[in-house]
Amino acid sequence: MTGRRLVMRWHLRQMMATRGMFQTSELVPLLAERGVNLTRQYVHRLVTTAPQRINTDLLAALCDILDCEPNDLLEPAVEYDQVAATGTDTAADEGLEIGTLRPIRATVRRPQP
């Protein structure tokens, strides 16, 4: 059984790399020039993890700095959640029914001195 959900993929780090920007701290003064004042820590978090919400002024500033469109930074994508296999249905897939399975006798051996 699978679950389907729509997620937004965040490509800020990739867009920065294509523009030759590899330090998250490089964004801080560029954002400040555009009236978006953020701490270095917040900018680092913004670059390394996808935000749950994003201010449109911040999005516009990032697009201006990186010379890109919002859809270059944000990409809607469908993810499917897979239910973990328990191993109980593999016997049916292999043609084995529960009635045909037999236990294997265990042999306990003591280590040799």
pLDDT in tens, 45-83: 999 999 999 999 999 999 999 999 999 999 999 988 876
- Contact yes or no for 38/46 (Cβ under 8 A): yes
Number of domains in the chain: 1
pTM over 0.85: no
More confident residue, 21 or 104: 21
The reported pLDDT for the residue numbered 18 is: 94
Q: What is the mean pLDDT of residues 4-33?
A: 94
Domain span at 45 = 2-82
Q: Is residue 102 part of a domain?
A: no
Q: Is residue 71 part of a domain?
A: yes
Q: Is residue 101 part of a domain?
A: no
CATH code assigned at 35 = 1.10.260
Q: What's the half-sphere exposure (Cβ side, CA atoms, 13 Å) at 47?
A: 22
Q: Is residue 16 part of a domain?
A: yes
Q: Is residue 97 part of a domain?
A: no
Q: What is the mean pLDDT of residues 7-25?
A: 94
Alpha-helix residue ranges (DSSP H) falling in the chain = 12-18, 27-33, 40-48, 56-66, 70-73, 90-93
Whether pLDDT at 109 is above 90? no
